[in-house]
Amino acid sequence: MEFTLISLLNGLSYGLLLFMLSSGLTLIFSMMGVLNFAHASFYMVGAYLGYAISTTLGFWPALVIAPLVVGLIGAMIERYGLRTVHKYGHIPELLFTFGLSYVIVELIQVLWGRAAVPYKIPAVLDGPLFTLYTTAFPMYRGFMMLVALVMLAAIYLLLTRSRIGLVIQASLTHPDAVEALGHNVPRVFMLVFGGGCALAGLAGVIGGNAFVTEPAMAATVGSIIFVVVVVGGMGSLAGALLASILIGLLQTFAVALDWSLQSMLSHFGTQVAIDAPYYRIFSITLAELAPIMPYLLLVLILIFRPKGLLGKREG
């Protein structure tokens, strides 16, 4: 019971962090058709900026300033890079952001070195939030969940209740009509791209100190958020939320379980000999499988439900 509850909370907080990343990716994709390969790189930029600002101004200013700076960088990249490539089609756009991810990793290493930086959790949030039976739940995990939920509510309200949100939604489906009504659709695109990057930056600021801030962090999380977007259904925000939490829970639970086919067989009173062929397949544990769980899920989803959990169309 204790294990289930704690794993549930940890999985939820990890899943919500994944959602902060994949929501920006999904917004950009559904709006512009651009798959931003460098999205995880913006997450990394957010973490490093958060580290740099928190060492001089403190954590709370970093929480506000770093995402804004990342959003600004994203908007500039859209304006002066992506827009030039837009006329060639979606594949060159994807390639552009792919090249960008290379360049950003290198620039980060030039500025902050190749090793991890000591980005620490602020003292106020360091400590247990509550104790469940015997296990303490860290306060920072709770803070991460809170930020993610606030962000989720803010996006929802912005997209459905505000004027700019309505313009964004309309440009999603009818860009020409929106342009005819006098709105600057390219500027809306720039805003969305910058906004999506800012969300990734925010995730970086609060994720960077919960995990490790290092040059490899973009690569580790990058492929998982692509899995989230495909599993949830391309361009579906609700699907991204569902898939993020699913993958978060899946990984947290798997990592703590050392069940294997061998242990299952021993319930029935048999064993596979150590020298038997394919013994490795029987001895592999769920914990060892945890890193590949998202990709297995991706393959299964594609075989049984190719449009994704909440996707609308097959493409």
How far apart, in whole angstroms, are the C-alpha atoms of residue 272 and residue 280? 10
How far apart, in whole angstroms, are the C-alpha atoms of residue 167 and residue 39? 24
Residue 227 binds another protein (CB under 8 A): yes
Residue 85 binds another protein (CB under 8 A): yes
Task: CB nearer to another protein: give 73 or 144.
Answer: 73
C-beta separation of 48 from 117 below 8 A: yes
Residue 247 binds another protein (CB under 8 A): no
Near another protein by CB under 8 A: residue from 157, 158, 261, 292: 292
Distances (CA, A) of 227 to 16, 53, 55: 15, 31, 34
CB proximity list for 283: less than 8 A, separation 6 or greater: 260, 261, 262, 272
How far apart, in whole angstroms, are the C-alpha atoms of residue 252 and residue 245? 11
Residue 280 binds another protein (CB under 8 A): yes
Residue 303 binds another protein (CB under 8 A): yes
Residue 275 binds another protein (CB under 8 A): no
Which residues partner with 260 through β-bridges?
285
Least separation, in Å, of the C-beta of 227 and another protein? Answer: 5
User: Among all chains, which residue has been given the structure tokens 């609060």?
Assistant: 206
Q: Which stretch, 7-15, 41-49, 106-114, 192-200, contacts another protein (CB under 8 A)?
A: 106-114
Choose among 140, 311, 123, 142: nearest CA to 232. Answer: 311
Near another protein by CB under 8 A: residue from 8, 61, 64, 88: 88
Near another protein by CB under 8 A: residue from 163, 176, 274, 314: 314
Residue 265 binds another protein (CB under 8 A): no
CB proximity list for 308: less than 8 A, separation 6 or greater: 230, 231, 232, 233, 234, 236, 239, 243, 301
Least separation, in Å, of the C-beta of 302 and another protein? Answer: 5
> Can you give the binding site for another protein, defined by CB under 8 A?
29, 33, 35, 81, 84-85, 88, 90-92, 94-96, 98-100, 102-103, 105-107, 109-111, 113-114, 219, 223, 226-227, 229-230, 234, 280, 284, 288-289, 291-292, 294-296, 298-299, 302-303, 306, 314-315
